[in-house]
Amino acid sequence: MNRPATSVTTQQIQLYRDQGYLQLPHLFSSEEMDALRAALDHIIEQGRARVLGEDREHDEDFKQVFLQLVNLWVDQPEVRSFTFDRRLADIARQLAECRAVLLHHDQALIKPGGDWSRATNWHQDAPYYPMQQSDALSAWIAVDDVSTENGCLQFLPGSHRFGSLELVPFDVEGASIFDQLAQQGVTLDAAPVSMAMAAGGVSFHHGCLFHYASPNRTERPRRAFTIIYTPDHVTYDGGWDPAGATDLEVGEPFSGPQHPVLSVARR
Ligand X SMILES: O=C(O)CCC(=O)C(=O)O
What residue ranges bind ligand X (CB under 6 A)? 66, 109, 111, 120, 125, 138, 140, 151, 211, 213, 224, 226
Q: How far is the CB of 131 from ligand X (least distance, A)?
A: 14
73 sits in the region (left: phi over 0; alpha: psi -120 to 50; else beta) called alpha
Residue placing its CB nearer to ligand X in the complex, 190 or 250: 190
Residue placing its CB nearer to ligand X in the complex, 64 or 226: 226
Q: How far is the CB of 124 from ligand X (least distance, A)?
A: 9
Q: How far is the CB of 182 from ligand X (least distance, A)?
A: 22
Residue placing its CB nearer to ligand X in the complex, 145 or 265: 145
Query: Residue 83: helix, strand or coil by DSSP?
Result: helix
Task: Measure the CA–CA gap between 42 and 176, rounded to whole angstroms.
Answer: 38
Residue placing its CB nearer to ligand X in the complex, 67 or 248: 67
Q: How far is the CB of 78 from ligand X (least distance, A)?
A: 20
What is the DSSP code (8-state) at residue 220? S
Q: How far is the CB of 209 from ligand X (least distance, A)?
A: 9
> What's the half-sphere exposure (Cβ side, CA atoms, 13 Å) at 166?
9
Residues 6+ apart with CB under 8 A from 46: none
Q: Do 66 and 238 meet the contact criterion of CB atoms below 8 Å apart?
A: no
Instruction: Identify the burial level of 231 via C-beta atoms within 10 angstroms of its C-beta, where 0-12 means exposed, 13-18 middle and 19 or more buried.
Output: buried
Residues 6+ apart with CB under 8 A from 113: 150, 216, 217, 218, 219, 220, 221, 222
Instruction: Identify the burial level of 115 via C-beta atoms within 10 angstroms of its C-beta, where 0-12 means exposed, 13-18 middle and 19 or more buried.
Output: exposed
Q: How far is the CB of 267 from ligand X (least distance, A)?
A: 32
Residue placing its CB nearer to ligand X in the complex, 102 or 143: 143
Residues 6+ apart with CB under 8 A from 114: 216, 217, 219
Residue placing its CB nearer to ligand X in the complex, 143 or 248: 143
Residue placing its CB nearer to ligand X in the complex, 157 or 256: 157
Task: Measure the CA–CA gap between 83 and 228, rounded to whole angstroms.
Answer: 9
Q: How far is the CB of 224 from ligand X (least distance, A)?
A: 5
